[in-house]
């Protein structure tokens, strides 16, 4: 019997042996920078002669890795190879597929700091953020392996006399997995292994900002014994080859995490039926948020300020769960603002390889310009910059953690997803007003409420429209199995990654009903089946 799932613990880098191991891992990764990586279709390594570079956001001229630009022909070939492999992979036992994930989790534990170090270099995660990402990837493998065994067990049905009825879950087919760059190991691995363990085959198209860590994970899958063609590794332009794999008539579903705009585009394209397609494609999408933390007058302001700052500026605010709006009761607005500013000014912006760094560079030049423009928009709309506001793009894409006070409901920085280290602070007349402001966006991913009034917490539980609502704690840091994650409205399909219903999105239920003939024993029946 499988032991009970437990979340992977985080690394304590205050212990010298752990810090030393991380430093060594970073040096090892630095020695491997700049290598060229292939596409992998059906186990075959392919180069195209046309490449693009993955760059270190904190050292924007440093090449992390060189990757192939796939062609439309190769994109179609990847789907077709995945479809061919599906014919055999779907018939492997759930136990075999679960064991593959357990082996992958074991390999990740052995190389934990090495994997984290790749994220330090490729997406500028701090030590703690990278370590948390790796821990979550391990959790996804362990959790989904156990979940597959649960789904594969006998499912409860109402009994009737004279029939034997069974409900089983079977895989869908070829899945296209399009993960984001902000959790380049955890979310990428989670969507991929959820597909594989349920018996599907995959075309994995990682973000062009984070292909190196995806390739390192793909190598672990191979090392763990994954057959060729179960996962096919493809890099290149989303507009050029992403559309091809989404549109392909053999594609059965698309699992996507990223921006609202791209998610809606995928959903629209997937809805069109192409020649030869005999199913409605399924889309599993997580598309971002405009998350708010409400701070009531009756609460511990120090605790609330710490939660707001941690939620707003962890990984440079580049989390769909990040707090981008602090909605504060008017009676405590100024003292709360002072506490937020004080904590923000203590954050250290710098090199992610330095263990003392609190936050580092944003992902690329496009993000750098967009986030900087939003700071200017906030000021133009009457906001008051009370912390940060500066930027430096000379060496890397560095933007100071920025707090903009006196933002009005409906302002652009209060409504639009910024995806960077910018916090809008809004004054609310009372708790009713705070809830109204919090809900008045097109998103509904995460949120939090700080108050000592239990009735208000109960009311927020009913009325705060978010897929993940946290009471008297920060709005980031969802744990696999503990906080199943997914949002409402334009935040996506509420897929609840890391939850007990998630694998059901990658399967379909089949019922087999057999009439029991008189004198036909259970033993004979089982033998016939």
For residue range 113-163, list pLDDT tens digits in order: 999 999 999 999 999 999 999 999 999 999 999 999 999 999 999 999 999
Whether residue 441 is predicted with pLDDT greater than 80 in this model: the reply is: yes
* 18-48+58-287+492-510 CATH pick, 3.40.50.150, 3.30.365.10, 3.40.605.10, 1.10.3720.10: 3.40.605.10
What integer pLDDT is reported at residue 511 of this predicted model?
Answer: 98
CA-based nearest residue to 447, from 505, 407, 489, 410 = 489
Taking only the tens place, the pLDDT of each residue in 198-216 is 999 999 999 999 999 999 9
How far apart CA 10 and CA 136 sit, in angstroms, is: 10
Q: Buried (b) or exposed (e) across 465-480, using 16+ Cβ within 10 A?
A: bbbbbbbebbbbbbbb
Q: Which of 482, 488, 439 is nearest to 459 (CA)?
A: 439
Mean pLDDT confidence for 376-383: 97
> Closest by alpha carbon to 180, among 262, 72, 109?
262
Q: Are 124 and 56 in contact (CB under 8 A)?
A: yes
Pairing relationship of beta strands 391-392 and 422-428 according to DSSP bridges: unpaired
Residue pLDDT, tens place only, 57-84: 999 999 999 999 999 999 999 999 999 9
pLDDT-derived band at 21 (thresholds 50, 70, 90) equals very high
Q: Report DSSP state, residue 359.
A: B
For the cut 80, the answer to whether the pLDDT of residue 527 exceeds it is: no
Element (H, E) at 287: none
pLDDT at 107 over 60: yes
CATH 3.40.50.300 fits 291-471, yes or no: no
| 282-286 vs 251-257, strand pairing mode | parallel
330-344 pLDDT, tens digit each? 999 999 999 999 999
Q: Is 515 helix (H, G, I), strand (E, B) or coil?
A: strand
Per-position b or e across 243-278, b if 16+ CB within 10 A of its CB: bbbbbbebbbbbbbbbebebbebbbebbeeeeeeee
Domains 18-48+58-287+492-510 and 291-471 share a fold: no
Residue 289 CA neighbour count, 13 Å, CB half = 34
Backbone φ and ψ of 112, nearest 5°: -55, -50
**What is the predicted pLDDT for the residue at 528?**
43
Q: What percent of the chain has pLDDT over 90?
A: 96
- What integer best gives the mean pLDDT of the chain? 97
Compute the residue count for the chain.
529
pLDDT band at 522; cut points 50, 70, 90: low
CA distances 45 to 35, 39, 48, 238, 500, Å, are 15, 6, 10, 21, 36
Catalytic residue among 8, 147, 320, 323: 320
Amino acid 518: pLDDT: 81
Strands 384-387 and 402-405 come out as: antiparallel
Q: Calculate mean pLDDT across residues 508-513.
A: 98
CB environment 156-184: b (16+ within 10 A), e (fewer) = eeeeeeeebeeeebebbbbbbbbbbbbbb
507 close to 169: Cβ distance less than 8 angstroms:
yes
Give the largest CA-CA distance in the chain. Answer: 84
Question: Is the confidence at residue 273, as pLDDT, over 80?
Answer: yes
* CB atoms inside a 10 Å sphere around CB 298: 13
Among this protein's residues, is 320 annotated catalytic? yes
If DSSP codes are grouped into helix, strand and coil, which group holds residue 242? helix
DSSP letter at 349 equals B
pLDDT at residue 473, as a whole number: 98
Cα–Cα distance, 342 to 388 (Å, whole number):
11
The C-alpha atoms of residue 234 and residue 187 are separated, in whole angstroms, by 17
CA 81 centroid distance within chain: 26
pLDDT at 51: 98
Structural contact between residues 221 and 104, judged by C-beta atoms closer than 8 angstroms: yes
**Is 342 in the active site?**
no
pLDDT in tens, 347-367: 999 999 999 999 999 999 999
Position 445 pLDDT exceeds 70: yes
Active-site residue, selected from the candidate residues 122, 129, 136, 286: 286
Cα–Cα dist 187/195, whole Å: 12
Residue carrying the six token digits 């980031």: 476
**Domain map of the chain by residue range?**
18-48+58-287+492-510, 291-471
Residue 154 φ then ψ, to 5°: -60, 130
Per the DSSP assignment, residues forming a β-bridge with 66 are: 36, 53
Which pLDDT value is given to residue 521? 58
């Amino acid at each position: 019997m499988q032991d009970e799932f437990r979340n992977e613990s985080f690394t304590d880098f205050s212990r010298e042996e752990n810090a030393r191991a991380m430093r060594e891992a970073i040096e090892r990764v630095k020695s491997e920078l700049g290598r060229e990586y292939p596409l992998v279709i059906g186990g075959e390594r392919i180069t195209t002669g046309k490449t693009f570079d993955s760059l270190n956001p904190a050292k924007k001229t440093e090449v992390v890795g060189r990757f192939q630009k796939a062609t439309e022909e190769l994109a179609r070939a990847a789907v077709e190879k995945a479809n061919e492999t599906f014919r055999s992979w779907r018939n492997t036992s759930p136990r075999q597929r679960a064991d593959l994930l357990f082996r992958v989790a074991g390999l990740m534990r052995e190389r934990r700091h090495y994997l984290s170090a790749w994220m330090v270099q490729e997406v500028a995660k701090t030590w703690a953020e990278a370590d948390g990402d790796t821990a979550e990837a391990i959790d996804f493998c362990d959790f989904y392996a156990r979940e597959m065994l649960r789904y594969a067990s006998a499912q409860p049905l109402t009994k009737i006399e004279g029939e034997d009825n069974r409900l089983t879950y079977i895989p869908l087919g070829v899945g296209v997995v399009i993960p984001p760059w902000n959790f380049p190991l955890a979310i990428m691995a989670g969507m991929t292994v959820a597909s594989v363990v349920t018996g599907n085959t995959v075309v994995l198209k990682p973000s062009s900002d984070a292909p190196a860590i995806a390739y390192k994970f793909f190598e672990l899958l191979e090392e763990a014994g994954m057959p060729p063609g179960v996962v096919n590794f493809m890099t290149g332009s989303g507009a050029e080859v992403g559309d091809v794999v989404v549109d392909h008539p053999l594609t059965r579903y698309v699992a996507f995490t990223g921006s609202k705009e791209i998610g809606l585009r995928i959903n629209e394209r997937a809805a069109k039926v192409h020649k030869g397609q005999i199913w409605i494609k399924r889309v599993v999408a997580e598309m971002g948020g405009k998350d708010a933390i409400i701070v009531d007058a009756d609460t511990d302001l120090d605790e609330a300020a710490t939660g707001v700052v941690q939620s707003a500026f962890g990984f440079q605010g580049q989390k769909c769960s990040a707090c981008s709006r602090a909605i504060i009761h008017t009676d405590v607005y100024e003292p709360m603002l002072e506490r937020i500013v004080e904590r923000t000014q203590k954050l250290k912006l710098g090199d992610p390889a330095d263990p003392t760094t609190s936050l580092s560079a944003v992902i690329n030049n496009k993000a750098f310009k967009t986030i900087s423009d939003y700071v200017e928009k906030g000021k133009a709309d009457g906001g008051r910059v009370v912390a940060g506001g500066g930027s430096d793009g000379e060496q890397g894409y560095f933007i100071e953690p920025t707090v903009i006070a006196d933002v009005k409901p409906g302002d652009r920085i209060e409504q639009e997803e910024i995806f960077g280290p910018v916090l809008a602070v809004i004054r609310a007349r009372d708790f009713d007003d705070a809830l109204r402001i919090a809900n008045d966006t097109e998103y509904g991913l995460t949120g939090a409420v700080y108050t000592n009034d239990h009735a208000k917490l109960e009311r927020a539980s009913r009325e705060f429209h978010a897929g993940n609502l946290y009471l008297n704690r920060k709005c980031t840091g969802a744990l696999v199995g503990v906080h199943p994650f997914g949002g409402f409205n334009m935040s996506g399909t509420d897929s609840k990654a890391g939850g007990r219903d998630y694998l059901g999105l990658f399967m379909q239920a089949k019922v087999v009903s057999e009439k029991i003939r008189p004198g036909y024993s259970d033993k004979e029946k089982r033998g016939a089946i």
